[in-house]
Structure 1
Amino acid sequence: MPASSENSGPHWTIRPIGYINSPYKQKFGVARQPGLVPAAQAYIDLSTEFTAECVRGLSDYEYIWVQFIFHATIKDGWQPLIRPPKLGGKEKKGVFATRSPHRPNHLGLSLVKLERIECNKQIRLYVSGVDFLDQTPVIDIKPYIPFVEAKPYAHSSFAHERELLTVHWSQHALNQMQFFSLDFEYFQLVNQSLAQDPRPVHQHHTDKVFVMHLGNFDVLFQFRDKTVEVTGLREHVGI
């Protein structure tokens, strides 16, 4: 991956150390920030060259930083100005003043909770509160150290906590939950993901039925004012 623009200096190659298995199978619906959807659980499979020695002591930390590549947006290039969803898509900010995936080097950084580590033939890290797209390449992992990295009173410009939407399930959707034998964890994942309002800004005034591929299922839902109604579930059929 280039460290600078073409013909402007040296370049370096960064290779993935592993890949993420996430319930978010498409860009639409992915949590906008880590930690907003605690029920979003994933795991990171490290490449087989990395042994248990590489994660010795990591389980002593509750949270970890995960550096990754926004692999699904590389083909779109990058933009110097971004319209952050929090600003209703009406105001532009510089790319380096946002967390947009459309960055010069398409690098991402997320703070996630480390649930446990399995050390078998392949090292697997279970994490929660994720905002990763499935099969995201991981390029580094570091422990989170709160006494030097937590700044709870720092000014954060337009990035502030947003009001959550109320999620309602139709009886039909609840019946399908039971039919597919889906557990409470999936119910929570859907609720927490939809409460964040995953709609693009330009579709906030439509009564269309949205479809989000979450886990192995498609979740169908509609918006009514500040309420989201889950109207149905169906098994996802890949194309």
Structure 2
Amino acid sequence: MQHLVSPVGIVRSCFKEKFAIPRQPHLAPAARGVLELLPPFNQGEAVQGLEQVSHVWLLFLFHQALEDKPRLKVRPPRLGGNQSVGVFSTRATHRPNGIGQSVVRLDKVEPGRLHLSGIDLLDGTPVLDIKPYVPYADCVSDAHNAMADAAPQLIPVEWHGDALSSAHQHAQRLNEPLVELIEQCLAQDPRPAYQQPEPERRYGARFWDLDVHWHYPELGRIRVLDVQMASRD
């Protein structure tokens, strides 16, 4: 039996590409975006009462990782990207139906628009459903996961002087916590764990309308090199 589903909304996110997106929600509280609801859910009736909720579950599609052939095993980044485990034991993006879920903070409710933070969603992500987070039911005090028993260890992020100055200027222009966003995302070390980067190798990712570049002056330390307007593709 097959079922057809349609998005209820589209996320407009600070993350314009997959690289450097946090691997779980809430790891970067400064990551913000807006869920734009689609008809008929862009009416005020659809979100009435949601202002009483601090967090919501989003069920969404990994729209840039959809596959015709299901994978039975995947290589999750948490295990270094070189160890295979069953797909259902991970939250890897390569899923049987391409469905993901995230709990995110609901900052503001407007007819047709939900303002979110702590997101881990790529810009343009289709959202299939929205459900209120219910603390007494959704928080399991004795839950455990031996494969992912704690948040990833953070690494220090430092700035080249001009890069930090530029980030502050763009933060004012965007009215967004840009410096915090960059630091929170890079501190989780977005590179594949199996890579041993040389100090001269530059990495880059796009946040909002900006290209951010960094390198590893030594393993376990990041230096942001520049923050500049993204080139038009």
Q: TM-score, normalised by structure 2?
A: 0.92
Q: Cα distance, 1:76 vs. partner?
A: 7.4
2:101 is equivalent to residue 109 of structure 1: yes
After superposing on structure 2, the runs of 4+ consecutive aligned residues of structure 1 that deviate more than 3 Å are 75-78, 178-184, 204-207
Residues 79-106 of structure 1, C-alpha deviations (whole Å, 9 max, x = no match): 2111221212232110000001101100
Q: Cα distance, 1:172 vs. partner?
A: 2.2
- Contact 1:76 1:102 survives alignment (8 Å): no
- Contact 1:64 1:141 survives alignment (8 Å): yes
Q: Cα distance, 1:234 vs. partner?
A: 1.5
Distance in 2, matches of 1:198 and 1:181, equals: 22
Aligned to 2:154: 164
2:164 is equivalent to residue 151 of structure 1: no
Quickly say closer, same or farther: Cα 1:31–1:178, change in 2 above 3 A.
closer
Give percent identity, aligned residues only: 36
Quickly say closer, same or farther: Cα 1:112–1:204, change in 2 above 3 A.
farther
Q: Cα distance, 1:131 vs. partner?
A: 0.2
Distance in 2, matches of 1:214 and 1:161, equals: 22
Distance in 1, matches of 2:208 and 2:124, equals: 13
- Contact 2:14 2:123 survives alignment (8 Å): yes
Counterpart of 2:71 in structure 1: which amino acid?
A: Q
Question: Aligned match of 2:110 in 118, 131, 134?
Answer: 118
Quickly say closer, same or farther: Cα 1:181–1:191, change in 2 above 3 A.
closer
Q: Cα distance, 1:193 vs. partner?
A: 0.6
Counterpart of 2:117 in structure 1: which amino acid?
A: S
Distance in 1, matches of 2:5 and 2:75, equals: 29
Q: TM-score, normalised by structure 1?
A: 0.90
Question: Aligned match of 2:53 in 61, 72, 75?
Answer: 61
What number of residue pairs does the alignment pair up?
Answer: 227
Residues 30-84 of structure 1, C-alpha deviations (whole Å, 9 max, x = no match): 1100010000011100013111111111110111000000000115754211122
Aligned to 1:25: 16
**Unaligned stretches of 5+ in structure 2?**
none
Could you say what the CA RMSD is over the residues aligned between the two structures, in angstroms? 1.6
Quickly say closer, same or farther: Cα 1:70–1:88, change in 2 above 3 A.
same
2:31 is equivalent to residue 40 of structure 1: yes
**Unaligned stretches of 5+ in structure 1?**
1-9
Aligned to 1:93: 85
Task: Report the 3-state secondary structure (helix = DSSP H, G, I; strand = E; otherwise coil) of the residue aligned with 2:177.
Answer: helix
